[in-house]
Structure 1
Amino acid sequence: MAVGWSRDGAVQEQIDATVESEIASARKRLPVGESLTHCQECDASIPEARRKAMPGVRYCVACQSELEKKQKAVALYNRRGSKDSQLK
Structure 2
Amino acid sequence: MRIGNFERELSEQRVEQEKETAIAAARSALSGLGKDECEDCGKPIGEARRRAMPSATRCVICQTIHEREQRKVIR
Common fold: TM-score over 0.5: yes
Q: How many residues align?
A: 49
Over the matched positions of the two proteins, sequence identity in percent amounts to: 37
Q: What is the distance in 2 between the residues matched to 1:75 and 1:41?
A: 21
Which entry has the higher C-alpha Rg, 1 or 2? 1
Question: How is 1:5-44 mapped onto 2 (pairs within 5 angstroms)?
Answer: 32=29, 33-44=32-43
Runs of 5+ consecutive residues of structure 2 not aligned to the other structure: 1-22
Question: How is 1:1-88 mapped onto 2 (pairs within 5 angstroms)?
Answer: 32=29, 33-76=32-75
Query: Where in structure 1 do 4 or more consecutive aligned residues deviate above 6 Å?
Result: none
Q: What is the distance in 2 between the residues matched to 1:40 and 1:49?
A: 17
CA displacement at 1:52 relative to structure 2: 1.1
Runs of 5+ consecutive residues of structure 1 not aligned to the other structure: 1-27, 77-88
Q: What is the distance in 1 between the residues matched to 2:47 and 2:66?
A: 21
Give the RMSD, CA atoms, in angstroms.
1.8
For normalisation by structure 1, the TM-score amounts to 0.49
Pick the structure with more helix per residue.
2
Structure 2 SS opposite 1:38: coil
Q: What is the distance in 2 between the residues matched to 1:41 and 1:64?
A: 9
Aligned partner of 2:7 in structure 1 is none
Aligned partner of 2:11 in structure 1 is none
